Structure 1
Amino acid sequence: MTLTQDRTLAATGLICAYAGLIGFTDNYVRVIAAEAGLWQFHATRTAMAMGLLAVVAVVLGWRLRPVRLGAVLARSALHGAAMVIYFGALAFLPVALVAAGLFTSPIFVLLISRFAFGHAIGPVRIAAVALGFCGVILVLGPEAFAGASFAAVLPILAGVLYAMGNIATREWCAEEAAQTLLAGFFLALGLIGLIGMAALWLWPLSVPEGAAGFLQRGAVWASGSFYFWTFVQAAGSLLGVGLMIRAYQITEASRASVLEYVILPASAIWSYVIWGQQLKPLEIAGMVLIVAAGSMIALRAKTAEVAAA
């Protein structure tokens, strides 16, 4: 067995661990949503995550200060907004469906690159976009297109913003350390959370009971359960991203990006194990198409790199 094979296998294990971890923790957002609000969740999680990150940075000697502050702020705002929408949707939709919407981001990266930056799109990538769009239609179902549920289209909006953040990572933040971008990401979420809490304190809304009030709920006196699962989220996010970063360090990015889509079935498996939540056949078929579209884009990018070498 060659060293490259060993490193690829190791990366596969790291990404599978990442997917299993994030799929598990995100399934408990509904527990948090039943008691507290989206904004308090993000503010609290950021405080916990930054505390943990600061300890790790001191121990490992990490440098968190950005090279280009403006670029990091812009990228953090895009990814932060995407994650706020993502977690908001988790209160209303199954984790696997929300993840499927977020993972349309490679498709939007392709479209934005073409129409905003003028990059050429070949027939393979055009086919991938078409395939992914069909997958989105199957996953979301007719209710999103009939206007019956605004929540049903939120994961796609998260995917668009996440794609913009990914483009910003390549265009503006190539010199930044991964831990710097991670810190900026959490700080953006925390700031958005504080702004949301302040706005709802000044202009309170009528709040439905339970998870239905996740978006409208301001600050509350939360129980130990809220703080426990929020800490699990903070620790799980830091560890999961750390595993993903390490995977990208020890194997080719094209392989790692394809493997990353394992989070879709991982989320579905955890939803079934924890909540007994099953997907419909059309939703499963849609997720398969989304995974296929993202894989085509990643593999095509690798082929282009090899040809140019």
Structure 2
Amino acid sequence: MQASSSTSPVSASILMVAAMAILGVIDNVVVLLAETIGLWQFQLTRTLMMLPLIGAMSLIGLGGLRPQRLGAVILRSALVATALMFYFSALALMPIAQALAGLFTSPMFVLLISSLGMGQRIGIWRILAVVVGFVGILCVLQPDPQDFDFNVLLPVAGGFFYALGAVTTRHMCAGESTVVLLGALVIALGLAGSAGLIGLAAFPVEAVNGPAGFVTRGWVWPMSEAIPWVVVQAVGSSLAVFMLIKAYQLGEPSYVSVFEYSVMIFGPLFAWAALGQPVGMMQVVGIALIAMAGSVIALRSG
């Protein structure tokens, strides 16, 4: 994102922390709407609600709606949309602490992609950060080698695709308006939702009740129980992204990005207080290690 000519690190950090607090709360509602509707219906209905809000962002001057490099924007949107589909699938199947831990592997994947795939040199501090972050991931996900649950790989897959999206954004979409990138992403999620609904209508799959059937559930009607949570997600996401955009406009990106890790505090804390999701000491240690590793990578990269 492009920074504005005037900077205010304090305002930027406050906006970023506020945005992460909102996301930490609203991502918890996914498990509630997953009780009655499916992933694909959720993405389609949320897209229809968010598009007018994104149009309003453009009207108030946050950025234009015309892409400069359409192909690059489409590629970036497809990668990030794939990442978020994995992440939202994980939210319905596991505590938010584990889902966030998997998604926030993305800075480590970015580093590995930049080093191994693009030949960029990285120093010892960032190499150590990757090792520390990997240990943190193991602490949070706590995979059992004797009875391995492949669901724990869902958010990690999300982190990988999010990293690919980040690299694409940096190298192919640097001149694009943030509103263009956001709008294209939301449209991509809506198209994914439509494709999933069409596929499930053509080839029905018997979905189990509750969140476990989130990915395999087709269109459900009426959706009165889920609509309030979808509205919370749509409005909350739009507001949080607005604040996130402003934070990057006001502050140095490598500095501001460190505060994104506050979502790993707000999300599990709200899940514990409102939903009774437990957070063990090992997971707390893992969250701290992931946040520390990501912060080191961000600052050293900056």
SS for the counterpart of 2:36 is: coil
Q: Which runs of 5+ in 1 are unaligned?
A: 1-5, 303-309
Within 2, Cα distance between the matches of 1:34 and 1:67?
Answer: 41
Corresponding residue number in structure 2 for 1:3 = none
- Aligned equivalent of 2:269: 269
Deviation at 1:46, TM superposition (A): 0.6
Give the alignment's Cα RMSD to 1 decimal.
1.6
Tell me if the contact between 1:140 and 1:153 (Cα under 8 Å) persists in the aligned partners: no
Name whichever structure is richer in helix by fraction.
1
Could you list the per-position Cα deviations for residues 138-172 of structure 1 after superposition, in whole angstroms to 9, with x for gaps in the alignment? 111023x5553221111111000000000000110
8 Å contact from structure 2 (residues 83, 157) kept in 1: yes
Deviation at 1:65, TM superposition (A): 1.2
| SS class of match (2:226) | helix
Q: Which residue of 2 aligns with 1:194?
A: 194
In structure 2, the CA distance between the partners of 1:287 and 1:274, relative to structure 1 (3 Å rule), is same
CA distance in 2, matches of 1:38, 1:55: 26
Tell me what 1:160 maps to. Answer: 160
| C-alpha separation in 2, matches of 1:163 and 1:137 | 19
Q: Which residue matches 2:129?
A: 128
Give the aligned partner of residue 249 of structure 1.
249
Q: Distance in 2 between matches of 1:159 and 1:110?
A: 12
Q: Matched residues in 1 for 2:295 and 2:55: separation? A: 35
Distance in 1 of aligned mates of 2:296 and 2:59 = 40
For residues 218 and 154 of structure 1, the distance between their equivalents in structure 2, rounded to whole angstroms, comes to: 20
Question: Residue in 2 aligned with 1:181?
Answer: 181
Partner SS for 1:224? coil
Tell me if the contact between 2:87 and 2:155 (Cα under 8 Å) persists in the aligned partners: yes
- The aligned residue for residue 20 of structure 1 is 21
In the alignment, what sits opposite 2:4?
none
Residues 72-99 of structure 1 show CA distances to partners (whole Å, capped at 9, x for unaligned) of 0000000000001100110011112211
How high is the TM-score relative to the length of structure 1?
0.93
- 1:115 shift after superposition: 1.0
CA contact (8 A) 2:143 2:152 kept: no
Of all paired residues, the percent bearing the same amino acid is 42
Q: 1:284 deviation in Å?
A: 1.1
Residue type matched to 2:196 in 1? G
Q: Distance in 2 between matches of 1:204 and 1:195?
A: 13
- Aligned twin of 1:296: 296
SS in 1 for 2:237: helix
Match of 2:87 in 1: 86
Alpha-carbon separation, structure 1, partners of 2:84 and 2:62: 28
Match for residue 307 of structure 1?
none
Q: Partner letter of residue 300 of structure 1?
A: R
User: Residue type matched to 1:132 in 2?
Assistant: G
1:34 corresponds in structure 2 to: 35
Structure 1 equivalent of residue 3 of structure 2: none
Amino acid at match of 1:185: L
Task: Give the TM-score of the pair, scaled to structure 2.
Answer: 0.95
Deviation at 1:223, TM superposition (A): 2.8
2:214 is aligned with 1:214: yes
Structure 1 residues 74-153: aligned runs within 5 Å = 74-143=75-144, 145-146=145-146, 148-153=148-153
Distance 1:54 1:146 in 2: 50
CA 1:247/1:218 → structure 2, altered by over 3 Å: closer, same or farther?
Answer: same
- Mapped to 2, the partners of 1:107 and 1:139 lie a distance apart of 16
The CA distance in 2 between the partners of 1:13 and 1:84, in whole Å, is 28
Determine the C-alpha separation between the residues in 2 that align with 1:95 and 1:61: 31
Q: Distance in 1 between matches of 2:38 and 2:121?
A: 43
Could you tell me how far apart the structure 2 residues matched to 1:29 and 1:50 are? 20
Aligned residues: 297
Amino acid at match of 2:69: R
Once residues 62 and 135 of structure 1 are traced to their aligned partners in structure 2, the CA distance between those partners, rounded to angstroms, is 37
Stretches of structure 2 that go unaligned for 5 or more consecutive residues are 1-6
Once the two structures are superposed, the pairs formed by residues 50-65 of structure 1 within 5 Å of their partners are 50-60=51-61, 62-65=63-66
